[in-house]
Structure 1
Amino acid sequence: MTADPVCWYWPVQPPSRSMAQERFEAQMERNGCTPEEVRILWAMECAADAHVSSGAGTLAAWQDGRCAICGKVRDLVCDHDHLTGLVRGWLCQSCNAAEGTHHGADTIFERYRQRPPAAILGITDRYLNPVTGKEAEPALEADDADAWTDAASEDIGL
């Protein structure tokens, strides 16, 4: 039997603001930040939460710095469904890379895709591209035969 993503076992209620701040500060101190840097980073985190939709803030608070698949507290990246453009959850870089390449029928990654944190919490936010600042649009389904075709490789003889 394949393991379930650890987020399936977390209580649905996010931590209180004071608990989230305490954990955030402890994590930043472990990363070598000074108390002044921690104060500034927490203020920036609060400003970012106020700027993004309530769904994204709720998702980040609920995950509390934990990867939705392995549960480890690491630097996280925002995972999204490339077909729908919707955010699924926050993953560590290792799980995010593996999630994109493991498409077996009964893998932990497929189970995560079937019921990601956003679905657990009822969140339907579009992914915001950090480079362009634009929301992801739903993609048209492509044939697997076209999986290696993209605009960047056109006109260069590939």
Structure 2
Amino acid sequence: MASSLESSPMRWPCPHRISQRWPDRLCGFPAVGGPDVDGPRYCVRHLPQKDRTRLGLSIDGDVDAMWFESDLRFSTPACWSWLVPTDPVQTLAAEAIDRLGRLSDSARSQMLSPESQGMLALTNWQDGCCAVCSLPASAFGTKLVTDHCHTSGLIRGLLCQPCNTKEGNRHNDEELIEGYRQLPPTRMLGVRLRYYDLVNGFTKPLGPEYGTGRDRSLLPEY
């Protein structure tokens, strides 16, 4: 996985396991260390305490600051390295429903709609991990944010708050964010999900008088 910038001295992907559901899903964030470091090399977030102390990173605020420094970023979205199962919607949605245990017939029926199946599949697949940086939302004491395309009104994926803020900048065309916009989790899984909020209901696509270029060209695909 190409998870670090070539100019960065931190070129080893962090081997910390980030998902209990998906044992092969590792952090992959650029690890601290060099050729003279013995043993696994971890990123600043998952360094053992003794190494944090040695590097002066014992304060969480310092770690969070380093985590989002430009030379520590992924060059491609983390989700691009995640395994997509065969027939992802049916497989992932069925697993999610099975974990809920005994359900009433009406509740189970509601979960069988295409949109519900798609959302169950997306949530199960991401398993609380941000699609861009892989960081679990629990690291910030929050839940993942449902990111959507404001032009099409369709969901892209689930992001941590910092990555969602970055993506929300329409002029942010850096490789990482642009890659996520072009191939988000919903497209990887083959699901089409309308964004919904309690105030406005389902978000409708913007008319042709809004948005041009990249955003407008994505409408048919989303």
* TM-score over 0.5 for the pair: yes
1:5 aligned partner: 77
Q: Percent of aligned pairs with the same residue?
A: 39
Corresponding residue of 1:113: 181
Question: Matched residues in 1 for 2:211 and 2:80: separation?
Answer: 32
Q: What is the CA-CA distance between 1:15 and the residue it aligns to? A: 9.7
* Whole-Å separation in 2 of the counterparts to 1:116 and 1:5: 9
Name the structure 2 match of 1:69. 132
The aligned amino acid for 1:138 is P
* 8 Å Cα contact 1:102-1:109 kept in structure 2: no
1:138 corresponds to: 205
Q: Deviations over 1:17-56 (max 9, x none)?
A: 48x96xxxxxxxxxxxxxxxxxxxx78xxx6993861001
3-state SS, counterpart of residue 59 of structure 1: helix
In structure 2, relative to structure 1, the CA distance for the partners of 1:53 and 1:15 (3 Å cut) is closer
Corresponding residue number in structure 2 for 1:24: none
1:93 to 2:93 alignment: no
Q: Which moved more, 1:99-108 or 1:74-83?
A: 99-108
TM-score by length of 1: 0.64
Unaligned runs of 5+ in 2: 6-73, 86-91, 102-106, 138-142, 213-222
| Higher normalized helix content (fraction of residues) | 1
State TM-score, norm by structure 2.
0.46
Change in 2 beyond 3 A, CA 1:131/1:101:
same
With over 3 angstroms needed to count, the CA separation of the structure-2 counterparts of 1:8 and 1:78, relative to structure 1, is same
CA contact 1:15–1:62 (8 Å) conserved in 2: no
Partner SS state of residue 79, structure 1: strand
TM-fit CA distance, 1:129: 1.4
- How many residues of Structure 1 are paired with residues of Structure 2 in the alignment? 119
| Whole-angstrom distance in 1 between the partners of 2:211 and 2:191 | 29
Q: How far did residue 101 of structure 1 move?
A: 1.0
Post-superposition offset of 1:88 = 0.3
Distance 1:55 1:79 in 2: 15
Unaligned runs of 5+ in 1: 22-41, 145-158
* TM superposition shift of 1:115: 0.3
CA distance in 1, matches of 2:132, 2:185: 10
What's the Cα RMSD here?
3.0
Cα distance between partner residues in 1 of 2:149 and 2:94: 29
> Residue type of the partner of 2:133?
C
Which amino acid letter does the alignment assign opposite residue 204 of structure 2? E
Question: Residues 106, 97 of structure 1: CA spacing in aligned structure 2 closer, same or farther, 3 A cutoff?
Answer: closer
In 2, Cα distance between the equivalents of 1:143 and 1:60? 29
SS of residue matched to 1:82: coil
2:111 maps to: 50
